[in-house]
Amino acid sequence: MQHIIDRFISYITIDTQSDSSSDATPSTEKQWNLANKLVDELRAIGLSDVTIDDNAYIMATLPSNVGHKVPTIGFISHFDTSPDFSGTNVNPQIIRDYDGKDIVLNKEKNIILSSSYFDDLLQYIGQTLITTDGTTLLGADDKAGIAEIVTAMEYLINNPEIKHGKIRIGFTPDEEIGRGAHKFDVEKFSAEWAYTMDGSQIGELEYENFNAAGAKITIKGKSVHPGYAKGKMVNALLIANKIISDLPKHEVPEETSGREGFFHVHHFDGEIENATVELIIRDHDLKRFEQRKKLVEDIVQKFNNEYDNCIELELKDQYFNMKEKIKPVFHIVETAKKAMEDIGIKPIIKPIRGGTDGSQLSYMGLPCPNIFAGGHNFHGKYEYVPVESMQKAVEVIVRICELTAKQ
């Protein structure tokens, strides 16, 4: 247990936040710090063909140890963390033999990880948890996945009696800003299929995700002295507010679950002469997804008609539901499911309410379901990961490799 704890902590204490405002890859220079460390570590444990390209994409190989032909499979995780919450000076706390009570993350600031509010904690009574100190995120998304993949490869190297085919691993930058797969070389990776280790609680197995788009709405107003503004002022802030109010009131993240889609306004800024609204559009169903995009276009056109075409809409697709690419090769999901069952884990097969590198990679020709990495409450100060879940993820990886070699 201590080995994977030490490995995980060595990763999360390196700041790797990505930055959507940057056009570079990786989007932040500091991602190189962990990327270069990982390259050294992969070589040290004995993997071959360890490479890192000019954009910090890392690949490595565990050669087959069987004489018969076996499909080449892969395991993928990302090393950046969310730009939405600080990842600087991560100071993890280790809670051993968790008793089910509230955890004081930061006494001075009265920040509490409460088991009554975050009731998933109660699944892990008696286990070892790694939490934040209440001032940063933890980085289990997705450094837990990286720790699990590296540990699994190390285990297979040290236990050659476990038979497996050729295994490829890949670590990517910038997943948290939607670019993790943009420059991933699928041909170079050369696997028949792969798994992202980027899910949450133990048992999660996902092959469906949102269809996703982003919209940026820019409103140009006219500022006039308010005492003489009648018929002349065009207040961009008020128009932006009207646009937001025209979106379906209850179709928002905080009121939806399962396969229910939503509109999520995540940025609103401006003044009288210029205002910007940014939102994301999500739905598992492609037809409803297209209807959602059309609604945004119709709302913008409605107010353009009223306000003399003062509004610009930039609407871009981001990724699509990987289900359509997984269904023809569904045996790869069944293999992961059996691997979990073989080691005593009940699979939780459900749609992802978000995206993953796997969704883009699936459309790039690399079918790629998503498997749990163990963490909870990603992208914030309440993030935590049970160590036992990380250990089980290692076992799942090893078992998938075994099962693939037997097929």
10 Å CB burial of residue 64 (0-12, 13-18, 19+) is middle
CA–CA gap between residue 213 and residue 210 (Å, rounded): 9
Helical (H) or strand (E) element with 8: helix 2-12
CA–CA gap between residue 60 and residue 48 (Å, rounded): 6
Helical (H) or strand (E) element with 249: none
* Residue 175 among the catalytic residues: yes
* Residue with the two structure tokens 């879940």: 389
- Written as one letter, the residue type at 245 is S
* Residue 297 among the catalytic residues: no
CA–CA gap between residue 56 and residue 34 (Å, rounded): 10
Contact 333, 207 (CB under 8 A): yes
Other beta carbons within 10 angstroms of residue 21's beta carbon come to: 7
- Of the candidates 15, 41, 148, 175, the residue annotated as catalytic is 175
Q: Where are the alpha helices (DSSP H) in 60-211?
A: 140-158, 186-189
DSSP per-residue codes, 176-211: GGT-TTTT--HHHH--SEEEEEEE-STTEEE--B-E
- Of the candidates 80, 133, 174, 357, the residue annotated as catalytic is 80
Bridge-based pairing of strands 370-372 and 111-113 is unpaired
Residue count (the chain): 407
Q: What phi, psi does 334 have (nearest 5°)?
A: -60, -35
Contact 197, 235 (CB under 8 A): no
- Written as one letter, the residue type at 346 is K
**Helices vs. strands in the chain: H and E counts, helices first:** 10, 17
Active-site positions? 80, 175
